[in-house]
């Protein structure tokens, strides 16, 4: 699948998208017909010897079934390429980055089962163990207080307290001496006052795991410091966001056998 948001050259995007959708030679003819030109002119466009009009650009978006955001981004790409002055190029570049920023807002791209009231958020995200106990109630044979405590390495008292909280929040159901999840995911908005604490809790847990399980084959730890352009930082953010989306798709259809945690960070080191 060709990802439009990874491109800064609309010609390269069109060429790769055509190759993806129409591996043979028929794609260029179909596209030319859709935008009201002959295939020879479209070839000139793709070689950089001619440019698309705005009408043709809009028709290409319809041909590729772009949603509203993708259509906007594609039109901005064409405008950016056509701009004849540096200030105008900067103007369209800013519009492109605004679309990428909007696309990177996770709450608008990911599906969550449930959100919480502010008071409940403070309780749920006070410590990493609450979410871990919550997820553990979905594993068959590990959904009793004693089994959860042993599985997560927590005291029985901590587990019982977490389960009582989860029942009160209607996130877990107690049935036949076991505890069962009512919901598989909970969303914490980025602007919540406890989001910062939640990130800290799991980063601290990651540090602890590095000491406890340094050679575990299922673990993945990676850190890097790089230098790159601000524009490319948006591209990297989009790549990482896609990885989160793909991971959630895998998790959504996966069976419940073990509790895992994954975190992701991308940030500039400058203070400005």
Helix, strand and coil percent figures for the chain, each rounded to 5: 60, 5, 40
Contact 143, 137 (CB under 8 A): yes
pLDDT tens digits along 200-259:
999 999 999 888 876 677 888 889 999 999 888 888 888 888 888 889 889 888 999 999
**161/81 Cα distance (integer angstroms):** 59
Question: Any idea what DSSP says for residue 106?
Answer: G
Report the predicted TM-score, pTM, of the whole model to 2 decimal places.
0.61
Widest distance between CA atoms in the chain? 74
- The answer for residues whose C-beta is within 8 angstroms of residue 89's C-beta and 6 or more apart is 80, 83
**56/28 Cα distance (integer angstroms):** 14
Higher pLDDT, 272 or 120: 120
Confidence (pLDDT) at 272: 62
pLDDT average, residue stretch 71-98: 94
Confidence (pLDDT) at 188: 75
Domains of the chain: 4-103 (1.10.260), 114-220 (1.10.10.10)
**55/36 Cα distance (integer angstroms):** 10
pLDDT at residue 95 tops 60? yes
pLDDT tens digits along 132-187:
999 999 998 888 999 999 999 999 999 999 999 999 988 999 988 789 988 777 77
**44/39 Cα distance (integer angstroms):** 9
pLDDT at residue 109 tops 70? no
Contact 113, 183 (CB under 8 A): yes
């Amino acid at each position: 699948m060709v990802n439009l948001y990874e491109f800064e050259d609309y010609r390269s995007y069109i060429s790769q998208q055509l190759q993806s959708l129409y591996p043979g030679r028929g794609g260029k003819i179909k596209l030319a017909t859709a935008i009201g030109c002959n295939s020879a002119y479209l070839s000139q466009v793709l070689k950089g010897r001619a440019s698309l009009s705005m009408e043709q650009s809009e028709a290409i978006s319809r041909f590729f079934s772009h949603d509203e955001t993708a259509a906007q981004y594609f039109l901005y790409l064409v405008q950016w390429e056509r701009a004849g002055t540096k200030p105008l190029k900067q103007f369209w570049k800013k519009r492109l980055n605004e679309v990428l920023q909007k696309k990177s807002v996770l709450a608008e791209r990911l599906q969550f089962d449930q959100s919480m009231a502010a008071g409940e958020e403070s309780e749920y995200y006070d410590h990493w163990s609450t979410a871990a106990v919550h997820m553990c109630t979905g594993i068959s044979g590990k959904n009793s207080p004693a089994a959860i405590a042993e599985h997560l390495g927590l005291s029985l008292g901590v587990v019982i307290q977490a389960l009582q909280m989860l029942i009160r929040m209607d996130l877990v159901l107690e049935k036949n001496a076991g505890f069962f999840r009512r919901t598989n995911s909970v969303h914490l908005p980025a602007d919540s006052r406890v989001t910062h604490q939640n990130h800290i809790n799991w980063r601290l847990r990651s540090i602890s795991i590095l000491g406890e399980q340094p050679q575990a084959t299922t673990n993945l730890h990676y850190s890097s410091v790089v230098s790159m352009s601000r524009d490319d930082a948006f591209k990297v953010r989009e790549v990482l966001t896609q990885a989160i989306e793909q991971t959630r798709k895998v998790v959504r259809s996966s069976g419940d056998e073990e509790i895992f945690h994954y975190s992701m960070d991308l940030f500039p080191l400058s203070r400005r």
